[in-house]
């Protein structure tokens, strides 16, 4: 059977234009057709779904970033220097013996490590060209500054910015003749009176 096409009745657009209208009757019919209505609804649903998916992805990325976050290298170093002085801890030498930096080999205090006033055994890693101590020498040292907090009897705490030692021989005698920087008065309890006498400042 053949199909019968009935054209829509033609309407004049003059009254609509005179009334300020911009759309013709055919435009209204096309906009109100079931196909266009379905397309608009599908577009709206799609935008809603894409918005929710984007929010979920953004939240997942944020959670994964928070989970993967690790402490920085600087934080790890700061945490390391604020513990006991143990094996492989680098210490600054604050006397005129010729050594500049010493790495701890063994702490003579105990298993945990050394603190203020304790004696350690270390290896010289940096030294001045013409000094009493050469690079690679195994030396003894007294810890005169520590980055780890130490409490006092009056309730206060003492803490330094670095770990520092003064080199001594196997008899406990100083190798250098000067001590640079401040030292704590807790060294008096450890019988290191010579270090206190040569120190620039006692805290």
pTM: 0.58
Domain definitions of the chain by residue range: 88-202
Class of domain 88-202: mainly beta
Q: What percent of the chain has pLDDT over 90?
A: 40
What pLDDT, on the 0 to 100 scale, is given for residue 152? Answer: 85
Point out which residues pair with 167 in neighbouring strands. 141
What pLDDT, on the 0 to 100 scale, is given for residue 83? Answer: 74
d(CA 12, CA 110): 105
Residue range 57-96, pLDDT digits in tens = 445 434 333 333 344 444 444 444 457 899 999 999 999 9
Between 99 and 23, name the one with better pLDDT: 99
105 burial level (CB within 10 Å; 0-12, 13-18, 19+): middle
What pLDDT, on the 0 to 100 scale, is given for residue 90? Answer: 95
Residue range 41-50, pLDDT digits in tens = 777 766 666 6
Between 77 and 179, name the one with better pLDDT: 179
């Amino acid at each position: 059977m053949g199909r019968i096409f009935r054209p829509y009745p033609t309407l004049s657009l003059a009254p609509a234009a005179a009334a300020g209208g911009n759309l013709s009757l055919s435009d209204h019919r096309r906009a109100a057709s079931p196909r266009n209505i379905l397309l608009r609804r599908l577009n709206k649903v799609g935008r809603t779904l894409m918005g929710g998916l984007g929010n979920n992805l953004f939240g997942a990325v944020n959670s994964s970033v928070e989970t993967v976050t690790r402490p920085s290298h600087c934080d790890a170093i700061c945490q390391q220097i604020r513990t006991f002085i143990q094996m492989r801890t680098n210490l600054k030498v604050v006397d005129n013996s010729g050594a500049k930096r010493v790495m701890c080999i063994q702490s003579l205090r105990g298993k945990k490590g050394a603190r203020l006033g304790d004696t350690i055994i270390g290896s010289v890693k940096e030294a001045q060209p013409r000094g009493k101590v050469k690079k690679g020498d195994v030396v003894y040292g007294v810890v005169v500054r520590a980055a780890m907090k130490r409490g006092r009897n009056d309730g206060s705490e003492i803490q330094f910015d670095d770990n520092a030692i003064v080199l001594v021989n196997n008899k406990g005698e100083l190798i250098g003749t000067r001590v640079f920087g401040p030292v704590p008065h807790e060294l008096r309890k450890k019988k290191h009176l010579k270090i206190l006498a040569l120190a620039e400042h006692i805290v």
